[in-house]
Structure 1
Amino acid sequence: MIDTTKLLILALCGVVTSLLLSYKQVGALYRKYGTFYKSYLSFSNPPTPNQSRKSSYSKKDGDPQVAAEPTPLMITPEQVKSYDDRPWRPFRWPYHQTMSIFKLEINHWLDMDKYYWHYIKEKERIWFKYGKENIDWLPEGYEPSLELMETVTDHMLKRYPLCFTLIEDRGKDGKIVKNELTEEVIDMSRPLKEHPLLYVTKMAKEDFYLVMKNPKDDLHYLVAAAVPFPGGSFGINHKIGKHLDVIHNDVPYYHEKLKTSMERWFGRLTPSSPVERASWYMTWDHKLRQNNVYKEPELTEQVKKEALTMDPKDFHVRVERQTLRRLPRTQAIIFTNHPIFYSLDEMKNEPLVPSLIRKIIYEAPEKIIKYKFFEIFRDHIAGYLDELIQRQIDMGLITKETPVKTLPTYPFAHWAEADFDYVNGGFNNPSQKPDHSKEYETSSKDD
């Protein structure tokens, strides 16, 4: 005769076993079909532009050591020929000397535009002619440069898969990539035949500064740089190995307003929190290495005479579009710079832009006016700016009472779409579609 207690125990064991099997079966079914169901929901309910803007960041964005990955932009080399960068208008009033940084969408770390070929050719010319005046490094800058090369390569392959193709991935022994834009095969297999920064200049049109923190004094130093197009036209050979205080010594109000906050901010920057900003000055040429207004101080009078012979309509705003991000392995901070030119004429129908420029070149803080050489040419172009301002009043774009202040769309043009990830045709001003290719080609030789 079977003990009743044993029967109850056996029965309970059977029930538990049955439940466990059912749970496993349910889990298996969910794993098998749950992903499909999620995909269906995503397909039938596509994300809104705002949602997609957030999704361009990695899901691990909360991890300070995880950098975001870009989403592919399916633009061909042929399409790049008519593709424009985002329309920067970094004009602020009141004008205060601040970092003026914004969160960077990683998709726009290394933007593409129709002048790509000219920038790459100029980088090659400047390296062969000027060498370490514009591209230089310290021994301790090699590893950060190597990580930068790998980061730029991966970014270009993922962001522009039709413009950069992977020929061979050798794992730890490097990659071989084809730049479909220039048709150059870039062999980055180990051991490298050239310094990593030289491979970077073959892929990206931006300038790169690599900064590392010295544990001895907790200050950030420039350890490597590939800067063919410096905004201040200073030679890298004079800045390499120097810390931020020396590099920014000539920047107006740096020591009074920016020094402490910049060092503190650099210390907090993480790989998952890249930022961007833009500064600007004015010139009458499209030279990349050295604009006329940024020649040596002893040539100021010569520059002034030259400026006064130029047609005011030929003056441009040169925007220095800059980004900052930290690399996860070496913890180096990467500062990029990319010059973009906008003529006064192409911005003439944009409300308040001529008014902002005129106000800034006359009423900005005195040190900034001198630093940007505004006083050399402002009287020469003021009449033309006044004409553009009156024209906007006559067209009803503004009134005499319209306050001159920072645009709501700062730092971009008012006509541009806010969600740039959904724009795939470039960012041409609808009223003006300038192409400065000829000016670039004729003014590239700065010597």
Structure 2
Amino acid sequence: MVDASLILLIVGVTISLILSKNQINLFVAKFKKSGLQGIVNDSKSETSKAKGRAAYGAPGNNDDEPIPKPTPLMITPEQVATYDDRPWRPFRWPYHQTMSIFKLDINHWLDMDKYYVHYIEEKKRIWKKYGKENIDWLPEGEDASFELMDTVTEHLIERYPLLFTVLKDGGPLDFDNQVPGTGKIIRNELTKEILDMTLPLKQHPLLYVTQMAKEDFYLVKKRPDGLHYLVAAAVPFPGGSFGVDRKIGRNLDVIHEEVPYYKEKLQKSMERWFERMRPCDPVERASWYISWDHKLRVNNVFQLPEFNPNMDTDIKSTDPRDFNVRVERQTLRRLPKSKAIIFTNHPVFYSIDEMKDEPLIPSLIRKIIFEGPRDIIKYKNFESFRDHIVSYLDGLIKRQIDLGLIKEDTPLKTLPSYPFAHWVKTEFDYTNGGFNNPNFDKAKSNYLEKAKKEVQFAND
């Protein structure tokens, strides 16, 4: 869930630090050769390697290192319509409140996929219907909001020159002096919208960001009391666990008071990481939960009784093959001028069915939803549906044994390709039209039409 994921992201970085350049190369080499051989205990291996990691990319106060810039990717709107996101598989065993954090390749800060237009349309609908329940800002977050808009705009123009066209360039934005005419006018070639971001702005910067990127954005700043506060947020897709209207202006201790193990294990590490993070050190990770829909604002698994009093009936009437994993793909980076920290989240759905031929994935999912940490099982509502899908998972596990994909005594541990699918062989450069599971019998699956029909509850 989104609020827990923000905490876990920071703690994971604090414990594990950032991969050195040499280790990234070693990871890629190992990743290309990965299969079932050499499966490792992820949590233990990351802990044991932490001391040996070099200072490259480690958090600190030196801002002299250059901020990474993206490499142009010459893809067209027609190509985006067939692209799949990177195939995240963030399943670990043993399952702990620490996790691997990877130095973010800035080319993948704001990725494209075939659901882009759907996400942008949903953002518009949610803003129109719910307003500041999902998108809000404080006066102290204005400078960070302007800088975020400028950062997102520049990134998208540089990374996707055929998707975002500059119609007018009025020069760098001058937020401090509000110089009229500075800024850009661009055309989003995917939605055909023209966005006039010259000063004075016609709408708040967060609304422009919402019309360009499919990610959710949180902006956090440090106040004189030494704590970090949420000062602005554009979060149409919290999944059900995060209301911006209830969190804006509050410090991270209050925001995460319901997160399992927060006070005992996470609180000090979080503030320490925020204090030391540099603009040149963006990172990424992913978390996950399970539901039986593709909703973006509130997934069915987190519906409250007043909106869905028949949750149990709803679950039992759903084919287990229709259950999916919602992966929360997250990044964290600091803005250089305002010093605000950007946390992004992008939900990606993968059906359990499309992962059925990936060795050990059904086994890992089954293990985690029944034997993971007790508070996490409760927090992610695993108990509400796990008995309904366990026979299905058992069938997939037996099928993998019968096909020779795994053996009955294959060690159940985090896969060496973590956090991605084992079959990925590229270095994530979107060759061959995106990432498509070669073993999935519904190749190039697309849940778009189904997702458009899934609005059922008043708090959709």
TM range (shorter): 0.7 to 0.9
* Correspondence for 2:199: 190
1:210 matched to 2:224? The reply is no
The residue correspondences of 1:405-424 to structure 2 (distance < 5 A) are 405-421=413-429, 423=431
Aligned partner of residue 211 in structure 2, secondary structure: coil
Determine whether 1:318 maps to 2:326: yes
What's the TM-score once normalised by structure 1's chain length? 0.84
Instruction: Flag the 1:272–1:79 CA change in 2: closer, same or farther, 3 A.
Output: same
2:328 counterpart SS class = strand
1:354-393 to 2 correspondence within 5 Å? 354-393=362-401
- Residues 192 and 65 of structure 1: CA distance in aligned 2, closer, same or farther (over 3 Å): farther
Q: Does 1:439 align with 2:450?
A: yes
Paired residues of 1:152 and 1:200 also in contact (CA < 8 A) = yes
> Which residue number in structure 2 is paired with residue 199 of structure 1?
208
Alignment of 1:44-443 (within 5 A): 63-64=63-64, 66-98=66-98, 100-171=100-171, 172=173, 173-214=182-223, 216-296=224-304, 302-421=310-429, 423=431, 425-432=433-440, 433=443, 434-443=445-454
The residue aligned with 2:46 is none
- The answer for unaligned runs of 5 or more in structure 2 is 1-23, 29-55, 174-181
| Residue equivalent to 1:14 | none
Q: 1:235-268 deviations in whole A, cap 9, x for unaligned?
A: 2100000111111122211222221111111111
Give the drift of 1:297: 6.2
Q: Which residue of 2 aligns with 1:6?
A: none
CA contact (8 A) 2:308 2:457 kept: no
Cα shift readout 1:123-171 (whole Å, capped 9, x = no counterpart): 0000000000000000111110000000000000000011001111101
**Is the partner of 2:453 in helix, strand or coil?**
helix
The one-letter amino acid of 2:327's match is V
| Amino acid in structure 2 at the alignment position of 1:119 | Y
Partner residue of 1:36? none
Residues 143, 347 of structure 1: CA spacing in aligned structure 2 closer, same or farther, 3 A cutoff? same
CA distance in 2, matches of 1:126, 1:387: 39
Look up the SS of the partner of 2:148 in the other structure: helix
> Does the Cα contact within 8 Å between 1:98 and 1:258 map onto a contact in 2?
no
Contiguous gaps of at least 5 residues in structure 1: 1-48
SS state at 1:443 partner: coil
- Greater shift, 231-240 or 216-225, is seen at 231-240
Quote how far apart the aligned CAs of 1:99 are.
5.1
- Counterpart amino acid of residue 418 in structure 2: Y
- C-alpha distance in 1 between matches for 2:235 and 2:70: 24
TM-score using structure 2 length: 0.82
Q: Name the structure with the higher helix share.
A: 1
In the TM superposition, what is the alpha-carbon distance from 1:305 to its structure 2 partner?
2.8
Q: CA RMSD in A?
A: 2.1
Distance of aligned partners of 1:406 and 1:301 in 2 relative to their CA distance in 1, 3 Å threshold: farther
Query: How far did 1:440 drift?
Result: 1.7
Amino acid in structure 1 at the alignment position of 2:314: E
Q: Report percent identity of matched pairs.
A: 68
1:318 counterpart SS class: strand
SS in 1 for 2:330: strand
Q: Return the alpha-carbon distance in structure 1 between the equivalents of residues 64 and 364 of structure 2.
A: 38
The answer as to whether partners of 1:92 and 1:406 remain within 8 angstroms in 2 is yes
Q: What is the SS of the residue equivalent to 1:140?
A: helix
Contact 1:66 1:328 in 2 (8 A): no
> How many aligned residue pairs are there?
392
* Change in CA separation of 1:360 and 1:197 when aligned onto 2, cut-off 3 Å: same
368-377 or 259-268, larger mean C-alpha shift: 259-268
Taking CA–CA contacts closer than 8 Å with sequence separation of 6 or more, which of the two structures ends up with the larger relative contact order? 2
SS at match of 1:341: strand
For 2:118, give the aligned amino acid: H
- Post-superposition Cα deviations, 1:352-389, rounded to whole Å, max 9, x if no partner, equal 00000000000001000000000111011000000000
Q: Which region of structure 1 is more displaced relative to structure 2, 113-122 or 289-298? A: 289-298
Bigger radius of gyration, 1 or 2?
1
CA 65–128 in structure 1, closer or farther in 2 if over 3 Å, else same: farther
* Deviation readout 1:322-348 (Å, 9 max, x if unpaired): 100000000100000001101111000
1:443 aligned partner, one-letter code: E
Amino acid at match of 1:407: L
Shift of 1:421: 2.7
CA–CA distance in structure 1, aligned partners of residues 132 and 251 of structure 2: 18
How many angstroms does 1:75 deviate by? 0.7
Inter-partner Cα distance in structure 2 for 1:150 and 1:446: 36
| 8 Å contact kept, 2:307–2:457 | no
Secondary structure at the counterpart of residue 238 of structure 1: helix
Q: 1:407 to 1:99 in 2, by over 3 A?
A: closer
CA distance in structure 2 between the partners assigned to 1:297 and 1:369 by the alignment? 19
Q: What is residue 33 of structure 2 aligned with on the other side? A: none
